[in-house]
Structure 1
Amino acid sequence: MKKKREDFLPINAEDMKARGWDQLDILLITGDAYVDHPSFGVAIIGRLLEIHGYKVGIIAQPDWRDIKDFKAFGDKPPRLFVGITSGNLDSMVNNYTAARRRRKRDVYSPGGVGGKRPDRAVIVYANRVREVFGKVPIVIGGLEASLRRFAHYDYWQDRVRRSILLDSRADLIVYGMGERQVVEIAQSLESGIPIEYLTYLDGTVAKTKSLDGLKDFVELPSYEEVSTDKEKYALSFKLQYQEQDPFKGRPVVQKHGDWYIVQNRPAKPLATHELDRLYELPYTREYHPIYEKEGGIPALKEVKFSIVTHRGCYGSCAFCALVQHQGRIIQSRSKESILKEVRLLTKLPDFKGVIHDVGGPTANMYKTGCSRDGEGYCGKRNCLFPSPCPNLKKSHQEYIDLLRSIRQIPGVKHVFIRSGIRYDLLMADNESDFLKELCEHHVSGQLKIAPEHVSPKVLKAMRKPSFEVYAKFREEYKKVNKMLGKKQYLVPYFISSHPGCGLDEMIQLAEHIRDLKYNPEQVQDFTPTPMTLATCMYYTGIDPLTGEKIYVPKDMGEKRMQRALLQFRDPKNYDLVKKALKKAGRDDLIGSGKKALIPDRRPGAHRRKGQRRKKKC
């Protein structure tokens, strides 16, 4: 049974008046369709503000080409502030491929149809709000705002852009997950503190003309310096990267002309009971009824029967922005809260007995983390690179106990893990037999894993474990499945064109794929997204944490060759693969030998143009 409109937060003036309201306290605008599910950030923020007593309305995917949609609740601005997000993804990542081609699909839009959100959605929406409501306080957040808080390299324009705080003309950025901050902002504004004085809140970025009164801060090279000097850009990244600690972090300042952008230290991680409360809010777990005729929202299908167990990731992969957004510290929900949610899912009318995922950014990090919790980061090394830290709590036993309890709930037939596992963490755990438990109960025929590459040089740039660790895990996985009498396979994910990867390294990876007799259906070409370590390497040609020069494949021709090498068996890639092999001097891999990647001739090239293969009778 579908939920009714009154079960959701208001989406227009009619819904608002039906509740007896004449004005909103807070207006939230999102680039995603409105899905009232805890996997959608605006739903969490909206429900949280609601239980704190605020009148909240949501405008989802407004038409930015007109101001009409921005007046969905009338001409009167919200009493406290407007909160803006591009949605669950950066709008540029959502709208474009790594080859800078516009995507046709958008799983966060009705029917999966693209084109419902503008490029740089946060900036566009915020400037429209200024046009409609004038000086109303504007707070921007979500992934797009969070990762563009400093001067940053923009891949799509191939230049350094200013902090999004200035281009959007907003008053504050909430960076990270944001629940603590938005409530504190609402309460501060409610108490009469003007928005321009809220420059001190943890987990926020403010702008100011003066640094008077600010002590013990780190100043980055200015926007003007980092936009013209790549060494200064690398230094700037290193300085801010080292200050993302919620316990010991200091304010970080970057000058932009007459303005100073001030990042306060990250907000403290949520305690278990606080995280439990968030996921137990009264979500309908449905998309809004207005999308029914358009076929619903595809993104909901992937998460509706999945469980989020924790936040954060201490993997710190160079190409991933999680450490800059959710942080390294694992914040886990209680077992009781998770089981309560599973029981709720089993009562939904369309539940078929399958829990699709039980995890987080990395599933098997649940209840793991640093034994020095509460003291902040070590500051000396990453938790898993180049090998697991001695201070790391690596036991999977609590995760195993959780999964066993979920399997025992009436109505649950299968429990799968889709959010990925860190095999290096698994291999480092000598206290529990998680691999056997995983293979016996939680793999649906294939286990997706992310070794990413085979070259030691590239893996070092990625901050990933050595390939020997993956090879050992692969053998253990085979051994356990054989013991269980199961035929289950590994599906490894690989990345092309990552900083540090040239044609030689990509050919080395292609040879590995050949030896595995593996034919990747999905491959990933590295996309430089704001505020990642790898993006800094891509733009500057420098590893900012070591100061070493690093090779970067930027030429689109080479990037196409590298991607083609991942799928060298596909006839469509023949010319690109052959070109790559000849350019690298690897003619030995062309021909009919056992080690060859491709034959001398393109498949089918012996037939004359227009000639068809005869059909067998």
Structure 2
Amino acid sequence: MIIRPERPITDWLPLTLNEVEKRGWDEVDVVLVSGDAYVDHPAFGTAVIGRIIESEGFRTAIIAQPNWRDDLRDFKKYGRPKYFFGVTAGCMDSMVNHYTANKRLRSNDSYTPGGEAGYRPDYATTVYTKILKELYPDVPVLIGGIEASLRRVTHYDYWKDQLMPSILVDSGADLLVYGMGEQPLREILKLVKKGVPLNTIRNVNQVAYLQDSSEALPDDRGWNTVELASHEVCLKDKIKYASNFKIVEVESNKWQANRIIQKVGNETLVINPPFKIMDEKEIDQSFDLPYTRLPHPKYKKRGPIPAYEMIKFSINMHRGCFGGCSFCTISAHQGKFIASRSEESILKEVDQIVQHPEFKGYISDLGGPSANMYRMKGKDESICARCQAPSCIHPVICSNLDTSHKPLTKIYQKVDAHPEVKKAFVGSGIRYDLLVDDFNKNNQDGNHDEYMEQLVTRHVSGRLKVAPEHTSDDTLRVMRKPSFKYFKKFKQKYDKIQEKHELKQPLIPYFISSHPGCEEADMANLAAETKDLGFQLEQVQDFTPTPMTVAEVIYYSGVHPYTLQPIKTAKTKEEKLAQNRFFFWYKPEFKSWIRSRLHKLNRADLADRLLSNPKKKIQGNEVVGVVKNKKKRFR
């Protein structure tokens, strides 16, 4: 029988053995192991999962950033948990966390006190799980978080430059939860309460596991099954690997999805269909758990945790993204359908933030994965239930998509009216194409214009981030992004509002170099187009192939997974450097190289545009490309 633990709601979950003993516990039911420092806040996955486990009546404790190198006492400090270990690499894939696009080791870690690097291993989920399996071979291990989620099936690993099987194979974990974990976790906990061992759980949505290939698949849920090409076939045939991805992406974003299976050696990987996106009540329940909203006091002497400092006065209003960008993992992990919190829940969080002892009246972000998708969904949900498209807005906006910004404008206005809030900014990037009438024609009541006016005049903190990503239509099609002409139209609209209100808030456009489908001349044209618009790009991020993205599949296989047609990709250091250099047309040391290179490409016209004096006054902007697992709200 499980007894619900009693505790003051202001307590952190136990992070030390002393804290466990102070509660009078003689054992822990579930132990969570994380690659991140423990911050008890709804933006950090370990806190959310821990609070859910606690809310279901289990005693749970956390092992954060354990020493994995030589001394394994961290893994043993609570002893054997009664039910299972839960393991996550943290809010980012550990390899994206550790390395740049050029595979150089990063010097800091935003999820560690003091920003120090070196507190988690490469492939953290696998390393932690293997250690636990060696120490406690009979205790089940459940893995989750973004690293496990995006590596649940055969995937290309950029850092090893090889195709790898499901993370279940390498880690030896018993069960994997993919995507946002609240719904499957609650179902798993209900079964555990009934005495079902975690390593025998099979018929829960949104989990994956391995079973012997001679075993029959469970059939009591009536799921249809789709089989992928085996891992061994994928190792020999890149086209088969690319074909697999299309199936995985389509099934991951369907309301009535099929179960996926894949042979791996003598075992079968089974991936159960996802849950339907959380409704308002369910997502509110997750955000309204009794978090302290603070890092654990243990870290005070080690310095601030940068990721927490970034979000401590921000509010995440929704999850998911229907953009489906080829390089981004948001829809792969959070889903393409938007799960929005209630207005009541959001305003309740505002009330909590203003009570923070360091709050000075400024909310840093009212946002989400894409800031302006709040409450957007299909007008007729029966159409959404049948839809297999990976994006709701590419190549055109779906006629069934309700893109009204009225609910979001209303939230902004209510937060603005809070007596303790001086300013509430939008720090997340916005989908500017949703605000361009030529692209999004659903603006009959002027709700886009009302939103733009509210946004520009009240919620821009000095500059506004947007992500055109490129200027070449061919490259943008591969990216699943709209034509650059819509960015220009948005900029005109934005500048007009600024001029009207006598504001000077520059746009900060994000771009990526070396993306699949992009050639040197495309990058030179990007540099010329942005120069003509008055931008001077000071920093650009090279593309990083991240598991479970279209762009990663193209990078590895050389073909688009939906068409199986070849797409060229810059891969060598020399090719990537050449694309990057065009951004720095204003640096004297590159001018000779640019002119020579463009003449060889028979694009003397671009050389003249780049190297002539600018027609517009140049504004100094730091333009950073998208880091593929960048979202601080991932788990």
TM-score normalised per structure 1: 0.93
Asked if the contact 1:165/1:173 (under 8 Å) is kept, the reply is yes
1:425-479 C-alpha deviation (Å, 9 max, x unpaired): 1222413121111111111221111000010100000000111111111111111
- 1:29 corresponds to: 33
Q: 2:578 aligns with which of 561, 577, 580?
A: 561
Question: Does residue 469 of structure 2 align to residue 452 of structure 1?
Answer: yes
- 1:161 corresponds to: 164
Question: Does residue 287 of structure 2 align to residue 279 of structure 1?
Answer: yes
- 1:147 corresponds to: 150
Question: Does residue 524 of structure 2 align to residue 507 of structure 1?
Answer: yes
- 2:347 corresponds to: 339
1:130-184 C-alpha deviation (Å, 9 max, x unpaired): 1111121100000000000001000011110011011000001100010111222
Show the 5 A alignment for 1:307-346. Answer: 307-346=315-354
Closer, same or farther: CA 380–96 of 1 in aligned 2, 3 Å: closer
Q: CA deviation at 1:72?
A: 4.8
- 1:118 corresponds to: 121
- 1:404 corresponds to: 413
Q: 1:60 aligns with which of 46, 51, 64?
A: 64
Closer, same or farther: CA 344–206 of 1 in aligned 2, 3 Å: same
Question: Does residue 226 of structure 2 align to residue 218 of structure 1?
Answer: yes
In structure 2, distance between residues paired with 1:213 and 1:181? 17
Q: CA deviation at 1:187?
A: 2.2
Closer, same or farther: CA 44–578 of 1 in aligned 2, 3 Å: farther
Q: CA deviation at 1:321?
A: 1.1
Asked if the contact 1:12/1:72 (under 8 Å) is kept, the reply is no
Q: CA deviation at 1:34?
A: 0.8
Q: Indicate the larger mover: 222-231 or 186-195.
A: 186-195
Unaligned runs of 5+ residues in structure 1 are 600-617
How many percent identity over aligned positions?
Answer: 44
Closer, same or farther: CA 317–71 of 1 in aligned 2, 3 Å: closer
Closer, same or farther: CA 100–434 of 1 in aligned 2, 3 Å: same
- 1:382 corresponds to: 391
In structure 2, distance between residues paired with 1:155 and 1:594? 36
- 2:91 corresponds to: 88
Q: CA deviation at 1:378?
A: 1.4
Tell me the secondary structure at the aligned position of residue 556 of structure 2: helix
Tell me the secondary structure at the aligned position of residue 451 of structure 1: strand
In structure 2, distance between residues paired with 1:236 and 1:594? 43
Q: 2:548 aligns with which of 493, 517, 531?
A: 531
Q: CA deviation at 1:6?
A: 7.8
Q: 1:19 aligns with which of 23, 26, 48?
A: 23
Q: CA deviation at 1:583?
A: 4.7
Q: CA deviation at 1:493?
A: 0.7
In structure 2, distance between residues paired with 1:587 and 1:311? 46
Question: Does residue 509 of structure 2 align to residue 492 of structure 1?
Answer: yes
Q: Indicate the larger mover: 511-520 or 46-55.
A: 511-520
Asked if the contact 1:246/1:269 (under 8 Å) is kept, the reply is no
Asked if the contact 2:559/2:567 (under 8 Å) is kept, the reply is yes
TM-score normalised per structure 2: 0.90
Asked if the contact 1:276/1:337 (under 8 Å) is kept, the reply is yes
Q: CA deviation at 1:508?
A: 0.9
Structure 2 letter corresponding to 1:399: L
Q: Which has the higher contact order (CA 8 A, sep 6+)?
A: 2
1:397-425 C-alpha deviation (Å, 9 max, x unpaired): 01000100000011100111111111111
Question: Does residue 369 of structure 2 align to residue 366 of structure 1?
Answer: no
Asked if the contact 2:9/2:290 (under 8 Å) is kept, the reply is no
- 2:50 corresponds to: 46
Asked if the contact 1:126/1:138 (under 8 Å) is kept, the reply is yes
Tell me the secondary structure at the aligned position of residue 29 of structure 1: strand
Asked if the contact 1:305/1:354 (under 8 Å) is kept, the reply is yes
In structure 2, distance between residues paired with 1:360 and 1:576? 41
Q: Indicate the larger mover: 572-581 or 283-292.
A: 572-581
- 2:624 corresponds to: none
Tell me the secondary structure at the aligned position of residue 114 of structure 2: helix
- 1:394 corresponds to: 403
Asked if the contact 2:202/2:218 (under 8 Å) is kept, the reply is no
Tell me the secondary structure at the aligned position of residue 518 of structure 2: coil
In structure 2, distance between residues paired with 1:525 and 1:377? 36
In structure 2, distance between residues paired with 1:548 and 1:399? 40
Unaligned runs of 5+ residues in structure 2 are 1-7, 615-635
1:178-211 C-alpha deviation (Å, 9 max, x unpaired): 0111222222123122333212210100111124
- 2:197 corresponds to: 194
Tell me the secondary structure at the aligned position of residue 39 of structure 2: coil
1:292-322 C-alpha deviation (Å, 9 max, x unpaired): 1111211111100000100110000000111
In structure 1, distance between residues paired with 2:82 and 2:385? 37
Tell me the secondary structure at the aligned position of residue 381 of structure 2: coil
Structure 1 letter corresponding to 2:44: F
- 1:134 corresponds to: 137
Show the 5 A alignment for 1:296-311. Answer: 296-311=304-319
1:273-309 C-alpha deviation (Å, 9 max, x unpaired): 1211211111111111121111121111110000010
1:52-90 C-alpha deviation (Å, 9 max, x unpaired): 11101001000111353434534x311111000000000
In structure 1, distance between residues paired with 2:280 and 2:391? 24
In structure 2, distance between residues paired with 1:212 and 1:50? 32
- 1:175 corresponds to: 178
